[in-house]
Structure 1
Amino acid sequence: MTRIERIQKRLPDLYIDAFLVTNQENLFYLTGFPLIEGDGALLITTKAAILITDDRYAEALREFDNREVIGMITRDYYGTVNEIMQKSGLTVLGFESSISYGLFDQLDELMVADIVPFTNLVENYRAEKESLEVETLRHAASLHDQGFEYVLGMVKPGMSELEVANHLDFWMKEHGASEASFPTIVASGANAAKPHATASKKLIEKGDVVTLDYGYFVDGYTADMTRTFAVGEPDFEFKTVYKLVNQARQAVIEKAQAGMHGDQLDYAGRHLIEEAGYGDEFQHGMGHGIGLTVHELPASYGPATKQVVLQHNQVITVEPGIYLPGLFGVRIEDDLLITHGGCEVLTKASTDLITV
């Protein structure tokens, strides 16, 4: 059964006659066509899948090899959706609840059919990866491993955080990545105590701790990896905190498997940090799903995510961290393929404490 057929099969059970897809990643997931969000929509009925866009995509549609999808060129995307619904006698249209208020207002004005919002209808399918998606994510993770080795061989005192980020960006793209899935974090010294610091003009100094957090798309899918290393010999407290964060990461990996609840998996690592007295210095969730975007379902898992249940072939991150303001921070992040028998760690770069 194709991805579109899955949606078509569900329409009667959802009490809708058609479903409208506008999210860029969902459009690509269902059709394989790279339509930029805002440049059209996919209308799925029980009998057809119609990709509605304008003449800027006419040539690409002619070259698009997908017999399951009908292309339609128009400048009036949603007026055309309304017309198709009326001509086909369809009276209830489902849509993604993530659309903007402006688009909702437009649909509300135009549609003769009743419109009904749905949350994560396509995203729930995206969360469980197919075999080709898993292989693509393995490849992406491998490139991130190599990127880390490149940084270790290149970074030195006197370079700015931004300079390191730019060198990594060039290297990743030269070796097969298309673009970053989020702004690369290179945080040195006290900046590493900020979980979402951005690469700045700060110069990396001897004795600094450096946190490197990056994600790049490879063939449409992104990995997400963090490593923390020292430039020059680190002090005892850093070594102690690093060891603790690494133990928490490993504890989560050992527990991760299909059927595990998010709060249970989080606890496997978090309680080690709390028992060591650093609970207040770990201020974020333990991880999140990745795939066509850097945050997919499960969007996050942490102490309050009992409702999250890991599924076979989901790919998630594990990223415990401890952040000591004014001093340093440590975060170590891996990507995990969840299975019924445990998990496979996709990112294989060393998590041993490295000094350059």
Structure 2
Amino acid sequence: MTDKQKSNIVKSAREIESISKAAALGDRCFSHILGFIEPGMTDQQVADEIGRFLYAGGAEGLAFDTISVSGERSCLPHGEPTDKVIQKGEFLTMDFGAVIDGYCGDMTRTVAIGFVTDEMKRVYETVLEAQLAAIEFIKAGVACFDADKVARDIISNAGYGEYYPHGLGHGVGTLVHEAPTLNAKSIEILEKDMVITIEPGIYIPNKFGVRIEDLAIVTDFGIINKVESKKELIIL
């Protein structure tokens, strides 16, 4: 890795400050959207309100097209919002981010509408356990594939390994997907002041999906999580 490449991956204090501002706006947006969502709305209406709030809060752009997918469509990791109506007994996954000072935020939360089944609760708790374990494990000097393995092993041991098709996370900066890549094949080593996502998920076809994503600064002692929104299962 050249010094030039490293400078693009390891963020300066100024860059981290801008990313932190974007993450904080995302937290405020999530708090707002919890009071906005109601059964009978469409996924598209939720996505539109997320965008409206982010722009009203000072975003100069969206880091990517907002994901808002409910019910069976929540099993699509990168599903686009549609006019599908949100109903009770469904999960709703929202993945969004603001651009502040040219730098991206990125967070995902999955919430339930009305009630959950035992299976939905079990899957949610498995994803949360995997994410918390990865958060506890990650620090400077850790190999990306080892970080991925911590979360993946929990999901696999719970019987959902085949439903976890993507990696644990990725770098974030002026682009929402940058180096490093945290997946089962990545030999990259995490360094202090890298900014990464931590986002395991389970996606069961024709049923539902769950993803929980935080944005974090890698340090020598662990991570500094820039997303403060609640992660325990929320039932609206």
> How far does residue 123 in structure 1 lie from its aligned partner after superposition?
4.4
Aligned to 2:183: 302
- What per-residue deviation string (whole Å, max 9, x for no partner) do you get for residues 226-265 of structure 1? 0000010111101011001001000000011111001111
SS of residue matched to 2:39? coil
Please state if 1:194 is matched with 2:76.
yes
Match for residue 234 of structure 1 among 95, 109, 116 = 116
Contact residue 223 and residue 335 of structure 1 kept, 8 A: yes
Which residue of 2 is the match for residue 80 of structure 1?
Answer: none
**2: CA distance between counterparts of 1:238 and 1:146?**
26
Structure 1 segments unaligned to the other structure (5+ residues): 1-118
User: Please, which of 122, 143, 150 is the counterpart of residue 25 of structure 2?
Assistant: 143
Matched letter for residue 328 of structure 1: F
Aligned-partner residue type, residue 212 of structure 1: M
Are 1:124 and 1:297, in contact at CA under 8 Å, matched by a contact in 2? no
Name which one, 1 or 2, has greater alpha-carbon Rg.
Answer: 1
Q: Highest relative contact order (Cα 8 Å, sep 6+), 1 or 2?
A: 2
What is the aligned partner in structure 2 of residue 317 from structure 1? 197
In structure 2, the residue matched to 1:256 is: 138
* Shift, 1:124, TM fit: 2.9
Q: Does 1:243 align with 2:136?
A: no
- Conserved in 1, the CA contact under 8 Å of 2:23 and 2:97? no
Give distance in 1, aligned partners of 2:158 and 2:90: 23
Distance 1:179 1:275 in 2: 40
Residue 121 of structure 1: how far off its partner (Å): 7.1
1:209-220 to structure 2, matched below 5 A, reads 209-220=91-102
Q: Is the 8 A contact 2:140 2:220 kept in 1?
A: yes
> How does the TM-score come out when normalised to structure 2?
0.97
3-state SS, counterpart of residue 297 of structure 1: strand
- The answer to whether residue 196 in structure 2 is matched with residue 349 in structure 1 is no
SS in 2 for 1:154: coil
1:121-200 equivalences in 2 (<5 Å): 122-200=4-82
Report how far residue 153 of structure 1 moved. 0.4
Partner of 1:269: 151
**What's the secondary structure of 1:258's corresponding residue?**
coil
Contact kept in structure 2, 1:188 and 1:209, CA below 8 Å: yes
The offset of 1:122, in angstroms, is 4.3
Does the Cα contact within 8 Å between 2:92 and 2:111 map onto a contact in 1? Answer: yes
CA distance in 1, matches of 2:201, 2:234: 17
| Letter matched to residue 327 of structure 1 | K
- Cα deviation per residue 1:84-114 (whole Å; 9 max; x = unaligned)? xxxxxxxxxxxxxxxxxxxxxxxxxxxxxxx
Following superposition, the deviation at residue 135 of structure 1 comes to: 1.4
Partner SS, residue 121 of structure 2: helix
AA partner of residue 190 (structure 1): E
Distance 1:162 1:120 in 2: 43
Write the distance in 2 (CA, Å) between the matches of 1:120 and 1:322. 36
SS in 2 for 1:187: strand
Contact 1:123/1:297 (8 A) holds in 2: no
The CA deviation at 1:205 is 1.1
- One-letter amino acid matched to 1:263: F
Q: How much has 1:120 moved relative to structure 2? A: 8.1
1:74 matched residue in structure 2: none
Q: Which digits, 9 at most, give the CA deviation of each residue in 1:287-317, with x for residues without a partner?
A: 000011101111x211111x21001100000
- Aligned sequence identity (%): 38
Aligned-pair Cα RMSD in Å: 1.3
With over 3 angstroms needed to count, the CA separation of the structure-2 counterparts of 1:120 and 1:227, relative to structure 1, is farther
* Mapped partners of 2:2, 2:116: distance in 1: 45
Distance 1:346 1:120 in 2: 28
The one-letter amino acid paired with 1:304 is: K
